[in-house]
Amino acid sequence: MIRRSPGLRRALLAWTIGGLVLLYVPLALVVLNSFNASRTFGFPPSGFTLRWWIAAAGSSGALHALGTSVVAGLCATAIALVLGSMAAFAVQRYRFFGRRAVSFLVVLPITLPGIVTGIALNATLTSLLGPVGVTLGIGTVIVGHATFCIVIVFNNVAARLRRLGTSFEEASADLGASPWQTFWRVTVPLLRGALVAGALLAFALSFDEIVVTTFTAGPTVQTLPIWIFGNLFRPNQAPVVNVVAAVLTLVAVVPVSLAQRLGGDVAGSRT
Amino acid sequence: MSSHSTARPGARLRLAALLGPPMLWLVVAYLGSMAVLLLSAFWSTNTFTGAVVPVYTSGNLLALVTDPLYRDVTLRTVVVALGVTVLDAVVAVPMALYMSRVASPRARVALVVAVTTPLWASYLVKAYAWRVLLSPTGPMAWLTGGHSSGYGIGAVVVTLAYLWLPYMVLPVFAGFDRVPDSLLEASADLGAAMATTLRRIVAPLVLPAVAAGSIFTFSLSLGDYIAVTIVGGKTQMLGNVIYGQLVTANDQPLAASLSLVPLAAIVIYLLAMRRTGALENV
């Protein structure tokens, strides 16, 4: 229909290109600015320099925060991988009362604003569990991250289970395999791509999270986003912040393109 | 193995084993925290130490209604969230229409990837990018010869709209994709002009998808305080006030009751959107 109207077609193409330019120009600018010789990052850049990259490589604060982020991300991803897959199996392979409620509960932590989840966890951890010896730290950050990462694994595994259907598992059972053998020899190998994609995306989400982290980390633990936010308004740290931001922009593309290649549901995981 | 009948005891046991751990986690860690949040909105603080004491008070919730500051901030936050939603819908609908109905199959895949990738780029970096763009010595000021409006509430709307744009494009794209070609052909065969077909056939079918996208843009904007801090100048939204009460004023119960405001706004919004069929499109 629209293909028959060249005017509208061209207008839509121009609009789409404009939208994509809008999406990518700010990100490109961050990368460009990390090489900007001007200390105040005036535009247009006054020259090209690698000084800030060298300074960032030696910034112990940023490197330490990076380590914390990696540990929190790996632990949260491991928990989400186990719990998310279990929930996906239950919802996709069984019919039971309250199935939709389970799906809803899994999605809820990513649908509500982070600040609500953050304040809720903070209230529980400090007011309720504080008196019995719980202190905010990397452990509480991991609990918070795992809670909203479950949905990412769940969505990827559930989508794959739905697409696969049950014929492979039925064939295996007909050939005399026990449910245990079928699970490990048939189902898990078929799911490997979805599991890896889910894990990559869950890690990416955890790595980037700042709001829930703010309310669960306490004063001593700094993840990379918390470090960036803490240094964003300090003019003398601006060059290092620029480089870290550029690195994060470039690094973000890796898990997404890997997950995409593995057939992960990159678009559907978060929406 | 499909749809195990839960009548068999073995299957029921396996289902319980599968559902138990994730439900335990989500019910205890998540719903449990939500319950504490609701409860603690009615708790008080010790006037001397500032420590939270679980003694009932309705003062926190009363403050929400009576204090004009909170009313203004709530109003501002809702207006910003709606503005972001409208802006995203305006930008996203033509993009999604092009991706779904005009682009070649190969271009479609590439476009979906191109829209999705920025979603996974760091939220903080994206907000920071706009701080750089709008800075007094930055590109926007350079392009406009110093007439850029800089940081403020306008910058907040634009930055939030930028942050959530993929959340609007993807469901609307899926919505356009679900419109059957046969309907469009039937409409054209019956003599409808393209504008008529778009308005009378496509728009009603795609509206639930726009509503689905708007749930994300609205809900994510309501609770945001990081982007507001980065590009908003002195602008305060609900998130900033909640953060301030918890971290600066150390009044956890008041922060808890304040965070019920975005929660309530989202529930109201979800109920309103349910009538459009948006929830089946999420």
Contacts B111 to A, Cβ<8 Å: 16, 20
Instruction: Please report, to the nearest 10 degrees, the dihedral formed by the alpha carbons of residues A231, A234, A239, A240 taken in order.
Output: -20
Name the token pair of A159. 């989508």
Return the DSSP state at B44.
Answer: E
Looking at beta carbons, which residues of chain A come within 8 Å of B263?
Answer: 112, 116
From B98, B111, B216, residue closest to A271, measured CB to CB: B216
A contact test, residue of B128, B236, B279 with most A CBs within 10 A: B128
Q: Is B52 helix (H, G, I), strand (E, B) or coil?
A: strand
Cβ-Cβ contacts under 8 Å, A105 against chain B? 23, 26-27, 30-31
Contact A225 B266 (CB under 8 A): no
**A240 in Cβ contact with A56 (< 8 Å):** yes
Distance in Å, alpha carbon of B231 to nearest chain A alpha carbon: 11
Whether the Cβ atoms of residue B188 and residue B111 lie closer than 8 Å to each other: no
Question: pLDDT value at position A2?
Answer: 67
- The pLDDT > 70 percentage for chain A reads 94
- Choose the mutation target among A124, A233, A247 for the interface with B, i.e. most B CBs under 10 Å: A124
Q: How far apart are CA A20 and CA A43, in angstroms?
A: 22
B13 pLDDT exceeds 60?
Answer: yes
Specify the higher pLDDT residue, A247 or A154: A154
Contact A98, A137 (CB under 8 A): no
The torsion region of residue A43 among left (phi > 0), alpha (psi -120 to 50) and beta comes to beta
For residue B3, the model assigns a pLDDT of 52
Q: What is the C-alpha to C-alpha distance for residues A87 and A149, in angstroms, rounded to an integer? A: 13
Distance (Å, whole) CA A114 – CA B28: 18
pLDDT for the residue A150: 94
pLDDT of residue A149: 93
For residues B82 and A262, give the distance between their C-alpha atoms in angstroms, rounded to a whole number: 37
A to B CB pairs, distance under 8 Å = 281
Q: Tell me what the pLDDT averaged over chain B comes to.
A: 86
Both tokens of residue B21?
Answer: 């751990």
Inter-chain contact B252–A24, Cβ cutoff 8 Å? no
CB contact under 8 A, B225 and A147: no
- What's the rounded Cα separation, in Å, for the pair B218 and B167? 11
The full DSSP string for A106-132 is: HHHHHHS-HHHHHHHHHHIIIIISGGG
Q: State percent of chain A over pLDDT 90.
A: 34
CA distance B3 to B62: 50
DSSP B282: -
Partner-chain contact A208 B131, CB within 8 Å: no
The per-residue pLDDT for B2 is 46
pLDDT in tens, B98-107: 999 888 888 9
Cβ-based contacts of B256 with chain A (< 8 Å) = 119-120, 123
Condensed to tens digits (0 to 9), the pLDDT of residues B139-175 reads 888 888 777 778 999 999 999 999 999 999 999 998 9
Per-residue confidence band for A201, with pLDDT thresholds at 50, 70 and 90 = confident
- What the block records as the tokens of B127 is 């907000």
Q: Which of A203-217, B6-20, B208-222 has the lowest mean pLDDT?
A: B6-20
Whether B42 contacts chain A with CB within 8 A: no
**pLDDT the model gives residue B250:** 81
Kindly tell me if the per-residue pLDDT of B179 is higher than 60: yes
User: What pLDDT, on the 0 to 100 scale, is given for residue A210?
Assistant: 92
Q: Say whether A5 and B194 touch across the interface (CB within 8 A).
A: yes
Nearest to A13 by CA among B95, B261, B105: B95
Instruction: Report pLDDT for B4.
Output: 56
3-state secondary structure of A94: strand
Q: Which amino acid is at A34?
A: S
> Could you tell me if A56 and A243 are in contact, meaning their C-beta atoms sit under 8 angstroms apart?
yes
Q: How confident is the model at residue B1, as a pLDDT? A: 43
Answer yes or no: do A117 and B33 touch at CB < 8 A. yes
| A180, A248 contact by CB (below 8 A) | no
Determine the average pLDDT of the residues in B204-213.
89
Inter-chain CB proximity A112 and B97 less than 8 Å: no
Is omega for the bond preceding A44 within 30 degrees of 0, making it cis?
yes
CB distance B167–A165 less than 8 Å? Answer: no
Q: What are the Cα distances from residue B219, in Å, to A107, A111, A251?
A: 14, 7, 27
Dist. CA A232–CA A228, nearest whole Å: 6
- Residue B118: count other Cβ atoms within 10 Å of its Cβ: 22
Look at residue B92 in the predicted model and tell me its pLDDT: 95
Distance from CA of A155 to the nearest CA of B (A): 12
Is B183 in CB contact (< 8 Å) with chain A? Answer: no
pLDDT, position B119: 83
Q: Which two tokens stand for residue B254?
A: 């008041």
Mean pLDDT of A199-225: 90
Mean pLDDT rounded to a whole number for chain A: 87
In three-state secondary structure terms, B233 is: coil
What pLDDT, on the 0 to 100 scale, is given for residue B76?
94
Choose the most confident range, by mean pLDDT, from A46-55, A126-135, A226-235, B43-52. A226-235
**pLDDT for A98:** 84
Judge whether residue B185 has pLDDT over 90: no
What confidence score (pLDDT) does residue A271 get? 58
Q: What six digits make up the tokens of A242? A: 């620029």
Compute the nearest-CA separation of B126 from chain A (Å).
7
Across A153-161, average pLDDT? 91
CB contact under 8 A, A115 and B223: yes
pLDDT tens figures, A67-97: 999 999 999 999 999 999 999 999 988 888 8
B156: closest CA of chain A, how far (Å): 15
Residues in chain B within 8 Å Cβ distance of A228: 124-125, 128
More confident site: B71 or B54: B71
Question: How far, in Å, CA of A166 to CA of A187, rounded?
Answer: 9
- Among partner residues A96, A116, A252, which is closest to B262 by beta-carbon distance? A116
Nearest-angstrom CA–CA distance, A219 and A189: 43
Among A175-184, A193-202, A230-239, B221-230, the range scoring the smallest mean pLDDT is A230-239
Alpha helix segments (H runs only) across chain B: 9-25, 32-40, 59-66, 68-97, 105-120, 123-134, 139-143, 153-178, 181-189, 194-197, 203-222, 226-231, 238-243, 252-274
The residue-averaged pLDDT of B16-32 equals: 92
Q: Model confidence over A18-38: pLDDT tens digits?
A: 999 999 999 998 888 888 877
Residue A223 has pLDDT above 80, yes or no: yes
pLDDT in tens, B237-251: 999 999 998 888 888
Pairwise CA distance, residues B236 & B74, whole Å: 10
pLDDT category, B137, cuts 50, 70, 90? confident
pLDDT at B116 over 80: yes
Binning pLDDT at 50, 70 and 90, where does residue A216 land?
Answer: very high
So what's the pLDDT on residue A135?
A: 87
Q: What's the predicted TM-score (pTM) here?
A: 0.87
Q: What is the DSSP letter of A48?
A: B
Angstrom distances, CA of residue A51 to CA of A234, A242, B21: 18, 12, 50
Q: Residue B280 pLDDT > 80, yes or no?
A: no
